[in-house]
Structure 1
Amino acid sequence: MAVSAGAAVPAAADTDSRGYLTKMKAQEMWKVADGSGITVAVIDSGVKDVSSWKSESVLPGVSYIEPPFERPDVTYPPHDDFVGHGTTMTAAIVGDGSSGGPKGLAPGAKVLPVRTSVGSPMAFAVASEAARGLRYAADNGAKVINLSIGVTPDWPMDKLKPAVEYAQSKGALIFAAMGNEGEGKNWTNAIAGLPGVIGVGAVDEDGKAMPFSSHGPDTDLVSVGSKAQIRCAENKGWCTGNGGTSYATSLVSASAALVWSAHPEWTANQVARVLIQTAGAPTDGSKRSDWIGYGVARPRKVLLEHAGDPGAPDVDPLAAPAVAKTPAPGADSTASVPPRAQAADAEPGLSWQWPALGGVLVVGLGLAVTVIVKRRRR
């Protein structure tokens, strides 16, 4: 399930090259809230210390990569990253726009890096490492947990499901990338299918679902997933390339951080509810679709227009959603040309797919590489 991508090119100096920050009215939102007071855990491939964010923006974090049996002396610090995936997610959330990297959507937030084996020959261990990471994040103050990694639907959930439930019991709001397998078998991230987890898909700058975006009843929100500033090959410098559902997920996590920063008294359910209520809904009039869920995340509606009703603090807004499935590509001859769905008032984000790194790497980059496991609504 490795994902291919077009050749990445060195990033230009413009930190809003696709205009998504401008369209989201980021500058105006930051006058109300910039994510301050909110910790976002990024459970991914680690984070390489680069000059693209302030030193205080990234916390020490933890690494759960075990050393090879034959090299017990080897260590894998959280502030390192084989492939740049986690580094890109971190910059999308708290970047300062320097050195060719992106300006983060929630620059005042803190990122708590949790390093897993994504991007390494030990990627088979990512699910158990992510489970440990969820518990660590919840115990160390993370309000938002970003999982731009995933697992396939047949992956055992005996460790991940209890870890998700534990993090939720601690008040954390979890976002998981749907995956970048929409044009093939349409495998979706099994983590996104767990109760209470927000599944995130990718759209382009016009709000149209990206054809590669994995989709289904577990799609809840979307953000932009086209060209973005991502880390170049071997995590050397910044390049412009496709971001995919991974980047889209980081933007939705950052959106939650902005809303929570403005309303620190709200619970995870309330933050999720207003993001769903204020999303740019499908233009066909449906409440939701399998391609774009309830629509494009628009935190500006909450911060600048005071829209959304947070509702009950202890009720999951996804507990009993009205599901209106969208037919898969080719299933309906009368359907529009892919992508199949479009959201109103799109606010560009990113959607990048990573170069293929070998079959074992399906765990972190293509589903945002993927090892997928998704949620069924209860």
Structure 2
Amino acid sequence: MQDTIRRHGSWRRAAGVVAAVLTVGAGTAVPAAADTDAPGYLTKMKAQEMWKVADGSGITVAVIDSGVTDLPGLKGRVLEGVSFMEPPVGRPDFTYPPHGDFIGHGTSMTAAIVGDGSAGSPQGLAPGAKVLPIRTSVGTPMAFMVPSEAARGIRYAADNGAKIINLSIGMDSSWPIDKVKPAVEYAQSKGLLIFAAMGNEGEGKNWTNAIAALPGVIGVGAIDEDGTAMPFSSHGPDTDLSSVGSKAQIRCDENKGWCTRNGGTSLATSLVSASAALVWSAHPDWTANQVARVLIQTAGAPTDGSKRSDWVGYGIARPRKVLLDHEGDPGAPDVDPLAPPAAAKTPAPGADSTASVPPRAEAADAHAGISWQWPALGAAVAVGLGLAVTVMVKRRRR
């Protein structure tokens, strides 16, 4: 593991103002405008070969995040969307457009999924898919409203054509998860597949995302280019799959240009969402349960022989195993593959969720990364969106 990797983020509190915070992560951010080559993880995942079979066409991914900036590399790939951001203090009638992004986090997630690689932007893993941007107050002094905004966004996605929901955002159990839970259940009843980042607090207290603990939600961890779980990747019994969380093109500070940084579990989640879009595009008659099942079955499993580990879950998402090698049994359309007893969210024999050295997964297929936390807007005082451990056995989708 590179010695430049540091823990992402910290908690800060002051004056009751709540906002999300971005820390630069590993090393120095280097502008990547001149680097237009596809990232290495696309080559390892055999993206070009997969796109001959399916490129995500016909699938809409709802990205519930900080919005999206209209950029050349996203032209024609982003739907109109909606904003649920609360108005600024003193301007109750003000509304924010969904195609706006103060911090660039949502734009980075969108590009990782559907970008076309032009104008120095990233090449997305599922370039034929569409992104439905749903803007929340992530990264602003109104970030304490994100849980209720995200809940509205989840319902909106379910009612407006999305098949997949990407949540590269998180909250701890002290936040009003009671608003998010029924929204998740509603989306699942409509047949949507939901992915949530585990968080970037794997070192220290290892706070994990409470959204990932909700029944049926697939929690995503981060690995590096060699298939090793990244030390900052939050981990626990709610980790189901993993993907690249190391260096990749993301929006620079203040959403100005593209930079190369560790992406963390945010990017990893976007890549797993894109993987699902590829599989679903090739098999449009499958249900969310079936898409999730084949992704789990074909994941690059932990190399210690465990069925799963708390660091990488069942392993690294490898959609090429489904599209090119025709592996995976979709199984019953109405049975959640994470439902007990098949996957009751308990460590497999031999798995050590507290190991100081993260395990490796068989993967050499996928690997790269965006920050879990986001910059505050004009506020000198802020607090990161906390991620506290919440463990719930995942049960069948409703």
Task: State the TM-score, normalizing by the size of structure 2.
Answer: 0.87
Structure 1 residue ranges without an equivalent (≥5): 330-334, 364-368
The 10-residue stretch of structure 1 (8-17 or 196-205) with the greater mean CA deviation from structure 2: 8-17
Offset, 1:7: 2.8
CA distance in 1, matches of 2:151, 2:245: 26
SS at match of 1:290: coil
Give the alignment partner of residue 244 of structure 2, picking from 221, 224, 229: 224
Once residues 92 and 163 of structure 1 are traced to their aligned partners in structure 2, the CA distance between those partners, rounded to angstroms, is 25
The CA deviation string for residues 24-72 of structure 1, in whole angstroms up to 9 with x for no partner, is 0000000000000000000000001111122x21000000012124112
Aligned-partner Cα distance in 1 for 2:195–2:148: 18
Question: What 5-or-longer segments of structure 2 have no aligned partner?
Answer: 1-9, 11-20
From 269, 272, 279, the counterpart of 1:249: 269
Residue of structure 1 in register with 2:294 after alignment? 274
- CA-based RMSD: 1.9
Task: For 1:324, give the aligned amino acid.
Answer: P
Q: Does the C-alpha gap of structure 1 residues 315 and 185 become closer, same or farther in structure 2, counting only changes over 3 Å?
A: same
Written as runs of structure 1 = structure 2, the 5 A alignment for 1:9-48 is 9-16=30-37, 18-48=39-69
Tell me, yes or no, if the aligned pair for 2:206 and 2:389 is still in contact at 8 Å: no
State which drifts further: 297-306 or 10-19.
Answer: 10-19
2:205 aligned residue (185, 188, 210): 185
TM-score, normalisation: structure 1: 0.92
Matching residue's letter, 1:342 = R
- Higher mean alpha-carbon deviation, 63-72 vs 95-104, is at 63-72
Q: CA deviation at 1:242?
A: 1.0
Identify the range of structure 1 (273-282 vs 317-326) with the bigger mean alpha-carbon deviation.
317-326
CA contact (8 A) 1:151 1:373 kept: no
Q: 1:96 aligns with which of 116, 122, 127?
A: 116
Corresponding residue to 1:284 among 292, 296, 304? 304
Seen in structure 2, the aligned counterparts of structure 1 residues 268 and 355 have a Cα distance that, compared at 3 Å, is: closer
Match of 2:369 among 329, 333, 351: 351
Q: Which amino acid aligns with 2:384?
A: V
Corresponding residue for 1:135?
155
Contact kept in structure 1, 2:108 and 2:370, CA below 8 Å: no
What's the counterpart of residue 7 of structure 2? none
Distance in 1 (alpha carbons) for counterparts of 2:304 and 2:59: 35
1:123 and 1:360 in contact (8 A); partners too:
no
State how far apart, in whole Å, the 1-side matches of 2:65 and 2:28 are: 23
The residue that corresponds to 1:152 in the other structure is 172
List 4+ stretches of structure 1 deviating above 2 A.
1-4, 12-18, 72-75, 153-156, 325-329, 345-363, 369-378
Tell me the amino acid that sits aligned with residue 213 of structure 1: S
Q: Percent identity?
A: 75
Report what 1:121 is aligned to.
141
Which position in structure 2 is the counterpart of 1:50?
Answer: 71
In 2: Cα distance, 1:201 partner to 1:355 partner: 15
For 1:298, which of 297, 314, 318 is the aligned residue? 318
